[in-house]
Amino acid sequence: MKPTTMVLAGLGGVAAGVALFLVVLAVAGPKTTDQARTATFKVGSAKSLARTVARTGPLLFQDLLGGARDIYVQHLGDDKWTAFEAHAPGQPRTCFLRWRADSRTFVDPCSDQAYPADGAGLVTYPAAADRKGALIVDLTQPR
């Protein structure tokens, strides 16, 4: 393969990657400047999400604000929800907490520290279903 063909193929791959990123950002990113400012996210139907969490475990949402704020959304039963950072305090972004269904804990792969299913000991955010049944996570109020 000619070097110019290889360069063109590489540039085409980069262009495709940028286009894919922009599509994902348009679909998953904030829909309005107000939503971006308030950082309140409508995750989806609380009822449907509760079934998904029961089957597969807590839901990981990566990079919600275009930075390094990855979160888990966890259903704790009935109408109880919590959201919390997907990294232990002080750990790099590469150390995503891992869900262990058998022990119902999150484990930090970098330190082996375990955290309970409700995210105690991690930075948490308010999460609740609104009147229409949509799960809302408010990233403006870390606890």
Predicted TM-score (pTM) of the model is 0.69
Number of domains in the chain: 2
**Span 79-116, pLDDT tens digits:** 899 999 999 998 888 889 999 999 999 999 999 999 99
Domain region containing 24: 1-30
Tokens found for residue 112: 């082996």
Q: Are residues 107 and 55 in the same domain?
A: yes
- CA–CA separation, 133 vs 119, rounded Å? 23
CA distances for 45 relative to 2, 60, 84, 123, angstroms: 52, 16, 19, 24
* Burial (Cβ within 10 Å: 0-12, 13-18, ≥19) of residue 135: buried
Q: Are residues 26 and 41 in the same domain?
A: no
Question: Angle CA(60)–CA(64)–CA(69) in degrees, nearest 5?
Answer: 80
**Span 36-64, pLDDT tens digits:** 455 788 889 999 999 999 999 999 988 75
- What mean pLDDT, rounded, does the chain reach? 79
**Span 61-79, pLDDT tens digits:** 887 556 667 899 999 988 8
